[in-house]
Every structure is written in structure tokens, then in C-alpha cells.
Structure 1
């Protein structure tokens, strides 16, 4: 099968399209024929090996010394089950699914194996493979951090970085929970964030939300670019600050994917897709994502639907 292999740490040109062995599912796994995946900021961090100095050695030991131990990157996917292990229940050959690979990676390929009891479930029936593939990473991350902050109805929530993969999901999820949502983004993305349901939108190139006099029960930094100290003046006395950087790793489950599927089918969340690339163009997708200006998600079309 064809796959994009990270041959060593470095710039996007270390990513090579290669022929590799097609995986065989273990007894508890499903083999997924991948139709769509994405390139996320997480993929770019692993490929380039961006790590704080103090964590450099531990991270290299964990991820791989000279190149990623799991050289086929890709955190999320959507596709069709082609084969199942003998112990698998709950899935059938031909099921259309979507999944979060997480640190297993492996989605930038024509096929991937995942544990049937892991973060894989039937995809939203009203979405294409490309749309479904753009939900798991941003959706589960936003869900985790909003829950950690105590999201509930009538809370005043500010989403910093509201136009990214996590941010666009967070705006929609916070609205689902009945919160009053303020999104922070650049001028070019104001209309997009407003269209997702944000009650107010702050253009950070024109205004500093922390100096506006407004106070929020929850501030979610969806891009890891502001500190709690930056937000103190904008938090209510019992307000909570959470960030995708430094607030722990998002814990997800199959139940989270099922929940997101139900919201998608009821029209309460819709993934934002900025650009689409072919599998061969994954290096170009990495270059684009690294610029930090993407709107929502960058999708990889592995095969035609």
C-alpha cells in the first residue's frame, strides 16, 4: 500500500511517499480502508520534533531517537472496514467509520489497523469521509478542555484561537451546552467564527480582550499562545483558564466519538475544512499547517469516495 513515511526529523521534505506492507488486523482489531485523514499541528510537531529543552531527551526516548518510532503519521481518519479480527464484535465488514488514532498514528496511508474497542465508531451518516475525518482531533480536544473547565449553560466562555481545528469545534460545542460564547481570532476569520454561532467576536489585531473590561467564567486557549497571567484581568473571581498547551493531554473515549457523531447528525456541529490535498501532497499540507493560519482543518484525500 501507499503511505507517507517520515524518514527522519526535519522539514516537510523528510516526508516521502513509499510502498509499505499492508497491515493485517490482530484478533481484536479492524482493518480500515482509509478514504480521508488530516494534517494537524500535532503531526507537524512530531515531524519537526519541536520540544522544550528540558523534555528533549525524554521525548526522543519515547517517540524515537533519529526518526519517529511510528513513521507513518496521522492522528485521525475516516474510511470503510475491510477486515476484522476473530474476536471483534460490534463491527462488520463494510461499516463506514471514523476514528482517532492518537499516538498510534498511521492514518497517512491507504490502510490502518485499530483496536475495535478503541476510539473508532460509525461515522456520521450525513457526512462525507472528508468531513468525518475532520471531527475527531479538534472535537475531542475541545470537548475535553471544556468539560475540564466545567462548561454548562449560561457560562460566559471565551475561545482564544477560535478559527483553528480545536477552536471551531469549541465554539460550536460551547453553544451546544448553552454558554455565551466570545471567539478571538484575526480579521480574516471574524465572519467564519460568527457563522459558527459565537455571540461576540474579538479581532485580536484590533483589540486586547484582556483589556476590554469583560469577564469570563471560562477562557480556553485553543492554540496554546496565551498564558493564565495574560487572562487574569478577564476572568471572573472563580473563573477557569484551560489551554491545549500545559493543561494536560486530552483524554478521549469511544463514547466521545459517538457523542460527536450524534451532534453532527443533528446539525449541531459541522467541521470546518480549509484546504484539501492528495496523499502525495502531504508535505505541502505540512508546510501550510506550519504557517499557523489555517481555518479549521486541512484534509487529506487518500482515495475518491
Structure 2
């Protein structure tokens, strides 16, 4: 089968199109013919490994030294079940599914930058929402699960004011929708060009972080949610950390290890089926243009998700 392999950490040019052996499912696994995957910020981080010495060493302990232990990156999958192991009962051949290759911080599986992948049936794996395309389904798991992780640290009540920094990215676009579903009044921080997008997702107010008067537009919020982490900062972001009510809370995606429980994954599926969340796709590339996709994501200006069709 065709797959994109990361031969060593570094530039996007280290991603090469290869012919590798097609995987065979174990007794509790399904073989999925992949139709779409996603290039996430985490994928770019792992591929580049452009981190300070100690964080880089820790990441290589996890993923492999010199090059990724599994050279086929990617944790997001949507596709069709082509074969299943003898113990599989939840899925049948021909089922259209979507999945995320992590069920816990220590139990993860890469490999979706390829034509096929095997995953256990009890993984973050479910039937694809019938109202979504394969590309749309692939735009849900990464941002949706990380946004769910952030929102789980809140106890939003109707009318609570929330600020989401990085509102137009894959995590931010999902965080807006989840917060609105919980009844929050949401202010989104992004660039001016993304105002229409975040407003369409439910933002009540917007702040352009590049504006000269951006800091003066801050109010006080029950929760300030940082959906971009330490990779991006601004004077507005630093001031927003203190723009909270006396019992408020600042929550960053960099605080702790994100959890990806199955109940959160299935909740995203349900919300998508009800039309309560909608995936945002910036650009779509074929598998053969993976280098170009990585370079685009690396710029840090994507709106929602970048999808790869297989």
C-alpha cells in the first residue's frame, strides 16, 4: 500500500511517499481502507521536533530517537471497514467509520498517513455520522477531543462569559461550538479575517489580537480558554490570563496531558449527527501532496482543519 513515511525528524521534505506492506488485523481489530485523514498541529510538532533540549529528549523517549518509531504518522482516520478479525462484533465489512488513534495518554497508535490502518474495535472508533462526508468526519476527532478536554475543566452555566484565544483553529472552532451548546456567552480571539467564520460558529463577540486597542476590548470572564498554548503569544494573551472573575479560571491546552476518553469521542459523534457541531475545513490535499500540507499547517494560520484525501 502507499503511505507517507517520516524518515527523520526535521523539515517537511523528510516526508516521503513509500510502498509498504498492507497491515493485517488481529482478532480484535478491523482493517480500514482510509478515505481521509488530517494534518494536525501535533503531527507537525512530532515531525519537526524543533523543541528545546529537555522537551525534545522527552518527546524522543515517547516517539523514538532520530526518527519516529512508527514512521507513518497520523492519528485521524475516516474510511470503510474492509476486513475484520474473528472476535470483532461491533463492526461489519462495509461500515463507514471514523476514528482517533488514542484512547489514553499511554495508549496511542499512529499510521493514518496511508491507504490502510488496523485499529481495535474498542478504540475511539465509531460509525461515521451519516450526515457528514469522509472529509468532514476526519475534521472532528482532533480538535473535538482536545476542545472537550478543555471544556471538561469548566462547569459552564447558562450565560457564563468565556474567552477563547485561538478561536479559528481546529481546537478553537470546536471549543466555540461546545461552549455555546453549554449555554456560554463566547468571545473569540482571532485575526480580523476570521471574524465571519467564528461568528458563524456562534461567537457573540470577537477581538482581533493584532488590533492596537485589542487589550482595551477585554472584559472579565468566568473562563479564559487558551486553545493554542505556548506556541503563540501576544500582549493580549498575557493580559487575558488576568481577565477573569474572582472565581474564574484560566485554562490552557498546555496544562497537563490531554485525555481522549471514548465517551467524549461518542459525544462528538452524537453532536455532529444532531447538527450541533460542524467541522471546519480550511484546505484539502491528496496524500501525494503531504509535504505541501505540512508546510501550510506549519505556518500557524490555518482555519479549522487541513484534510488529506486518500
How high is the TM-score relative to the length of structure 2? 0.93
> Are the structure 2 counterparts of residues 145 and 208 from structure 1 closer, same or farther at C-alpha, using a change threshold of 3 Å?
farther
Task: Tell me how far 1:62 sits from its aligned partner.
Answer: 2.0
- 1:114-173 Cα deviation digits (max 9, x unpaired): 111111111111000000000000001001111113334322111100000000011111
Mapping for residues 1-305 of structure 1, pairs under 5 Å: 1-102=1-102, 103-206=108-211, 210-224=215-229, 225-226=232-233, 230-245=239-254, 247-302=255-310
Mapped contact 1:211–1:234 kept (Cα < 8 A): no
The number of aligned residues is 301
1: CA distance, partners of 2:269 / 2:197: 22
2: CA distance, partners of 1:64 / 1:49: 11
Mapped contact 2:296–2:302 kept (Cα < 8 A): yes
Mapped contact 1:29–1:113 kept (Cα < 8 A): yes
> Are the structure 2 counterparts of residues 93 and 241 from structure 1 closer, same or farther at C-alpha, using a change threshold of 3 Å?
same
Mapped contact 1:209–1:234 kept (Cα < 8 A): no
SS for the counterpart of 1:69 is: coil
- Across the aligned residues of Structure 1 and Structure 2, the Cα RMSD in angstroms comes to 1.6
Task: Tell me how far 1:209 sits from its aligned partner.
Answer: 5.2
> Are the structure 2 counterparts of residues 78 and 207 from structure 1 closer, same or farther at C-alpha, using a change threshold of 3 Å?
farther
SS for the counterpart of 1:36 is: strand
Task: Tell me how far 1:294 sits from its aligned partner.
Answer: 0.4
2: CA distance, partners of 1:262 / 1:108: 26
- 1:178-206 Cα deviation digits (max 9, x unpaired): 11101000011111111111011111111
**Stretches of structure 2 lacking an aligned partner (at least 5 in a row):** 103-107
**Stretches of structure 1 lacking an aligned partner (at least 5 in a row):** none
2: CA distance, partners of 1:162 / 1:286: 21
> Are the structure 2 counterparts of residues 177 and 30 from structure 1 closer, same or farther at C-alpha, using a change threshold of 3 Å?
same
2: CA distance, partners of 1:283 / 1:152: 43
1: CA distance, partners of 2:128 / 2:286: 21
2: CA distance, partners of 1:58 / 1:213: 37
> Are the structure 2 counterparts of residues 48 and 200 from structure 1 closer, same or farther at C-alpha, using a change threshold of 3 Å?
same
Mapped contact 1:210–1:234 kept (Cα < 8 A): no
How high is the TM-score relative to the length of structure 1? 0.95
